[in-house]
Amino acid sequence: AQTVTQSQPEMSVQEAETVTLSCTYDTSENNYYLFWYKQPPSRQMILVIRQEAYKQQNATENRFSVNFQKAAKSFSLKISDSQLGDTAMYFCAFMKQFTQGGSEKLVFGKGTKLTVNP
Amino acid sequence: NAGVTQTPKFQVLKTGQSMTLQCAQDMNHEYMSWYRQDPGMGLRLIHYSVGAGITDQGEVPNGYNVSRSTTEDFPLRLLSAAPSQTSVYFCASRTGQGPLLYNSPLHFGNGTRLTVT
């Protein structure tokens, strides 16, 4: 079974600075997908960024980027120029590649609570 | 464009009562799922469905039933509520199957906060 570990329960950063959230996972799969979701106080889950394991290039979305190390099974999220609106819980998630007749599900880490201070 | 709609937003039950959490999506998504979120536990998959008439168990299915009679709706039933089912419940959906699945983001509802006393 796949597992996802987020070792930082809470982090804080000053506005405009850069912060990195860590995520490691355990799987025997070779093809899979990784995601970062953001959950602000409004409770809604919002997709931040996703990475396909077969791609060596790290995904980027504006101020958000990942450092994907497949051999180390590591998938960290870097937030540049942090903004007050980035304050939220951040969840790392894993999904194995769909196969005919196989199951489809996201496995989530326990989350990291990020606070951006003015 | 409503997306994924969950009702109710809040619910209090007594132990042993039954209820159904409703989830509807208007995006014609094939895949729908239910998660529960508990402090320090992240999100855990309860049940999921890859299309009308097809459901399967997730990580924590005990105490919950689901059905998928239409593409739009995926209700979650608690037959006999227990305090251990106090949680925030999220319904989610996405489109695509097979190799296209990864390319489709998971759309979440706004959650239902359930308290069982």
Are the Cβ atoms of B102 and A91 closer than 8 angstroms? no
Are the Cβ atoms of A108 and B56 closer than 8 angstroms? no
pLDDT at B105: 75
Would you say residue B103 has pLDDT above 70? no
Would you say residue A102 has pLDDT above 80? no
Q: How far is B81 from chain A (nearest CA, A)?
A: 23
Q: Identify all chain A residues contacting B45, using CB atoms and an 8 Å cutoff.
A: 105-107
Q: Please answer whether residues B24 and B9 qualify as being in contact, where contact means their C-beta atoms are separated by less than 8 angstroms.
A: no
Are the Cβ atoms of A104 and B50 closer than 8 angstroms? yes
Q: Of the given ranges (A87-101, B2-16, B25-39, B43-57), which has the lowest mean pLDDT?
A: A87-101
Are the Cβ atoms of B98 and A103 closer than 8 angstroms? no
In terms of phi and psi (left: phi > 0; alpha: psi -120 to 50; beta: otherwise), the region of A67 is beta
CA distance A31 to A2: 13
Q: How far is B99 from chain A (nearest CA, A)?
A: 7
CA nearest to B47 within chain A: A105
Beta-carbon contacts below 8 Å between A and B: 58
> What average pLDDT score do residues B8-20 get?
96
pLDDT at A100: 55
> What average pLDDT score do residues B29-41 get?
89
pLDDT tens digits along B76-99: 999 999 999 999 999 999 876 655
**CA B65 to chain CA mean position, Å:** 10
DSSP secondary structure string for all residues of B14-71: -TT--EEEEEEESS--SEEEEEEEETTTEEEEEEEEEETTEEEE-SS-TTEEE--SSS
